[in-house]
Structures are given as structure tokens and as C-alpha cells.
Copies of this chain bind each other. A is one copy, B any other.
Amino acid sequence: MKLLVLNPNTSASVTDRIASTARRIAAPGTEIVAMTAGRGVPYIATPAEALIGAAITIEMLAEHAAGFDAAVIAAFADPGLGAARELLAIPVTGLAESAMLTACMLGRRFSVVAFTPALGPLFRECIDYSGLAARCASIRFVTRPFASVANVHEEQEDAVAALATAAALEDGADVVLLAGSPLTGLAARIADRVPVPVLDPVSPAIKHAEALVVLRPRKPRAGTHARPEAKPSSGLPDALAALLARTD
């Protein structure tokens, strides 16, 4: 099967890291095609930036999803996830949602560790949207600024391991999610030092996408993710306009 892994940020180096993790975890026979946002911001950190990234995500999916079996929105706050499910016929997964749902199978409560407090409002919104707030024990943040998005996890490995351990022992987390695609790959490096499972969100999102392809759920004709009625539009990219007009 063929998965489109779309990074809603414009940082190609982050996309590379995501793609590398994705390929490592993917089943034999799964082809990973990674794509970087063609416009937007290098790293989505706030609700407003996530909205911008979400709109770009659905534009890109409208243009590029044809021929793929499923898509993965590869940023922790899952920008555009619901909209993508509504507009596309293929399954779509998101890093935060997949990590939280997987955490629910590994423990009763999870904590999120992220690399800057500025992410708090965005991640809280994302957890609330999932309906799983009651299963979230805490969000903890690295507070020391990092020198580079691309190298954040080398810089922060010890700090992240300490935060994850504190989440388990002080906040009662049974599982820790490393949030933010720059942290991709770090989970494996700190696993032995943390007393509970540590999840890298890219991996669950890939496995969930693979699973949904196999389960072959029908595209809904009713409900939240039913495709909207054909509708004219103006000023939108051609592929998105065609999708809305149902002329795709």
C-alpha cells in the first residue's frame, strides 16, 4: 500500500526525519511518500499557525491524495484532520490522535512531553478535541530554549527523559507521548531510562493508517465525515475547488 505522509510545516529536514521513522516502522509492502508543506511556517506552534497549516494541508491533500491508500498528517496537533476526513475518500490519521489512542491501550492515563511551553494552548485544544482529556495526566514542557528545530532531540535528550520520568512518577502517567515532530526518533533513545512506555507519535500514526487501509471502512454518506454537497467556490486552488464542486 501507498501512504502519503504530509508534513504541514515547511521544514524539509523535519520531513526527512519523519519519513525515516515512518519507513522504519512501516510494514513490508508499505510505500511511504513524504511531502513538505509548500507554503506556511517552518514549525506550527500555536492555534493560529495550526489553522494556517490546516488550510494548507487540505489544499495539498486535494491536489496530491489521488493514488494513495491513506494519508498521515504529520504534525502533533493534527492540523486539518477532521476536514481531510470529510473531503477525502481515503483514511487519514494524525500524529496526536494516533498517539493518544495507542496510549489508551498501554495505560489508563498518558502525559505529553513537548519541547516548548508555547505549545501548551495548541496541544490542550488538540486533546480536548479528542475527547480524551480525562485520560491525560499532564503536559510537561522542556523550558530551556533549543538552538535548532532540526537537532532538537540531540540537544534535549536528557531533559526529555527527565520530564518523561517525572510525568510517570509525579503525575501518574502510565504512558508518555513525545509531542512535536522534531522529537521524532527520540523515544527509542530514552525508553530504557523511563519507567513507562514512551511513544513516538509518528509510529502509531503509520500503523493506524496501515490498519485502516486493511479494514476498508466505507466512505460515509451520512454524518460528520460525509462528503459535503457540491458547492461552488471562488479564489481557491483548483484541486480544492474541484473537490468542493465534486468535479474531481
* Residues of A in contact with B (beta carbons under 8 Å apart): 10, 25, 27, 38-43, 45-49, 51-52, 54-55, 58, 80, 82-87, 91, 93, 97-98, 101-102, 104-109, 118, 120-121, 124-125, 128-132, 134-135, 168-169, 172-175, 191-192, 194-199, 203-204, 207-208, 210-212, 214-215, 217-218, 220-226, 228-229, 231-236, 240, 244
Contacts and interface: CB of A to CB of B under 8 A. Distances in A.
A195 B219 CA distance: 8
Given A208-B211, A228-B118, A235-B40, A223 B48 contact: no
A160 to B, nearest CB: 16
A220 B195 contact: yes
B217 A83 contact: no
A208 B102 CA distance: 8
Copies per complex of this chain: 6
B224 A214 contact: no
A40 B236 contact: yes
Contacts of A118: 228-229
Contact of A220 (B25, B128, B134, B196): B196
A102 B210 CA distance: 12
B204 A49 contact: no
Contacts of A226: 195
30 contacts: A10-B233, A10-B234, A40-B234, A41-B231, A42-B232, A42-B233, A43-B231, A46-B228, A47-B86, A48-B82, A49-B231, A49-B244, A97-B105, A101-B104, A105-B208, A105-B212, A106-B220, A107-B224, A108-B125, A108-B223, A109-B223, A109-B224, A128-B128, A131-B134, A168-B223, A195-B220, A196-B223, A197-B220, A207-B211, A207-B214
